[in-house]
């Protein structure tokens, strides 16, 4: 007897990696043309289980699979999970639930239900190679491949920021008429496409140059048109600074920090100098504030561009 296909997924870990994993999963489940009707996004604070489960039990007007993507899963209230527990005992065919969180406890009801009925995927910062594999798969789907030197150039130029690497790859796939993309093509396009690098933003903040920080932010925001990507980019860079702080406190050598955080040799000295200009407690507060900003903008509680400008001004003035 064939194993039952899981209808419940829990994806945790680094923002870019988990979002990329979920997008790939949804691509397997729903044709692109049915996403607008058969994919439902829900935030944990907005969960109305009876209404959601009624929707799940009602076939889509367009037919086919339905997917419910539920974000910030750790915020789901344990006292309200009972209707979904009962649903899991008799799930509706062709209906899938994807829960997403940066982290979630092993004792949370969603984690326990996933163990019983679904599949758990965790993608931590140590799984950067998994992120690169996703990017390689993206290239393969478009009939392209990067040489090893091109991958190195892309990673060093963009500080190994997966979101930016993905954007530059999109441009490479769009403009390159060759199936194999080499280092020279990467350098040329990155130089034309990116006026700034991720390192430049945190350097402006470290120097308390708010005007420059805002200019760099707006460059990347205009480039991506997506605040989630911007939050992820800033979070990624601040978290690397925080990780470096912790490693320095444990007595780690500079080369160890460079290898662990994938800092290229030519960038390591200025990165460590930047790290010393931030206090660990301050970085932890900034990471928390950034999460609150992201959550507030997604909930419509704040205008996202203004909120980010205020956040950057606070960092620069701190």
User: Is residue 182 located within the same domain as residue 215?
Assistant: no
Can you give the pLDDT of all 318 residues of the chain as single tens digits? 334 678 999 999 877 678 778 888 888 888 877 877 888 988 887 888 999 999 998 887 777 889 999 988 998 988 889 999 999 999 998 899 999 998 899 999 999 999 999 999 887 655 556 667 777 888 888 888 888 888 887 777 776 666 677 777 887 787 777 888 888 888 777 777 777 877 888 888 888 888 998 998 888 888 777 777 778 778 878 888 998 999 999 999 999 998 888 787 878 898 999 998 888 888 888 887 887 777 666 555 457 788 888 888 887 665
Is 73 part of a structural domain of the chain?
yes
Co-location of 105 and 133 in the same domain: no
Q: Can you give the pLDDT at residue 70?
A: 93
Give the domain CATH number at 254.
Answer: 1.20.272.10
Given 168, 193, 218, the domain boundary residue is 193
Picking from 193, 227, 248, the residue at the C-terminal end of a domain is 193
Structural domain boundaries, residue 136 = 128-193
Q: Domain for residue 160, yes or no? A: yes
Q: Which helix (H) or strand (E) holds 216?
A: helix 210-224
Domain boundary among 123, 141, 163: 123
119 and 149, same structural domain? no
Contact yes or no for 130/14 (Cβ under 8 A): no
Residue 2 in domain: no
Asked whether residue 1 is assigned to any structural domain, the reply reads no
Determine the Cα angle at 227 with ends 318 and 167, to 5°.
115
Question: Do residue 80 and residue 183 come from a single domain?
Answer: no
Q: Look at residue 3 in the predicted model and tell me its pLDDT.
A: 44
SS3 107: coil
Domain count, the chain: 3
Q: How far is CA 168 from CA 68, 117, 143, 174, 187, in A?
A: 30, 38, 16, 10, 11
Give the global pTM.
0.55
Same domain, 98 and 46: yes
């Amino acid at each position: 007897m064939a194993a039952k296909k899981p209808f419940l997924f829990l994806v945790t870990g680094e923002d870019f990696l988990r979002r990329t994993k979920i997008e790939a999963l949804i691509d397997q489940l729903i044709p692109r043309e049915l996403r607008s009707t058969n994919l439902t996004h829900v935030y944990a604070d907005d969960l109305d289980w009876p209404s959601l489960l009624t929707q799940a039990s009602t076939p889509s007007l367009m037919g086919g699979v339905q997917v419910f993507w539920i974000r910030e899963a750790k915020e789901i209230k344990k006292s309200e999970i009972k209707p979904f527990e009962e649903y899991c005992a008799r799930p509706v065919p062709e209906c899938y639930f994807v829960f997403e969180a940066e982290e979630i406890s092993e004792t949370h009801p969603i984690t326990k239900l996933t163990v019983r009925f679904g599949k758990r995927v965790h993608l931590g910062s140590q799984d950067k190679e998994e992120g690169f594999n996703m990017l390689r798969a993206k290239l393969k789907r478009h009939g392209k491949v990067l040489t090893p030197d091109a991958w190195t150039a892309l990673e060093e130029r963009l500080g190994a920021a997966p979101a930016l690497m993905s954007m530059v790859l999109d441009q490479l796939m769009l403009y390159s008429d060759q199936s194999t993309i080499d280092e020279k093509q990467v350098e040329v396009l990155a130089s034309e496409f990116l006026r700034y690098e991720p390192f430049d933003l945190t350097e402006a903040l470290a120097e308390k140059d708010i005007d420059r920080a805002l200019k760099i932010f707006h460059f990347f925001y205009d480039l991506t048109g997506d605040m989630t990507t911007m939050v992820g980019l800033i979070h990624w860079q601040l978290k690397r600074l925080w990780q470096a702080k912790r490693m320095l406190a444990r007595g780690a050598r500079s080369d160890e920090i460079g290898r662990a955080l994938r800092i290229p040799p030519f960038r390591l000295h200025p990165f460590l100098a930047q790290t010393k200009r931030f206090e660990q407690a301050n970085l932890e507060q900034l990471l928390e504030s950034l999460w609150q900003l992201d959550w507030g903008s997604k909930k419509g509680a704040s205008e996202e561009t203004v909120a980010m400008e205020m956040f950057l001004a606070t960092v620069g003035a701190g």
